[in-house]
Amino acid sequence: MQNVVQGSRITIETERGSTTFLPFVGILRNVGVKGTLQHMLLAALRLREAVLADPRIERIDSSRIVLDADVLTQEITPIVRGRTDAPTIAIPFGRASGGGA
């Protein structure tokens, strides 16, 4: 199970297109945009897509966006194929405020 958590973290921390051999691994970044509800939902959707791209993940049991002050975090509980235990992974996206429109 730890390898699935680690793989999810690596996928989330990788910007899509930044690796030569696996160009479709990772997520598209919203760098420099304000932490509006629209951008929070877009970040959550991209995270969900990245986690579900792992063939070991059957589905996502729960997902929650947490905005504390201006730090955006997503808590996600992936269900691994053939497993009954499902740990929640908290993924910080960083600061939700910034320049841009």
pLDDT tens-digit series, residues 25-81:
777 766 666 667 777 788 778 888 888 888 888 998 888 887 777 777 888 888 888
The CA-based angle 81-87-92, given to 5 degrees, is: 115
- pTM of the predicted model, to two decimals? 0.69
Counted residue by residue, the chain has a size of 101
Q: So what's the pLDDT on residue 32?
A: 64
| Residue 54 near residue 11 (C-beta atoms within 8 A) | yes
Domain 2-95 of CATH type 3.10.450.40: yes
Q: So what's the pLDDT on residue 86?
A: 79
Q: So what's the pLDDT on residue 68?
A: 78
Q: How far apart are CA 26 and CA 11, in angstroms?
A: 5
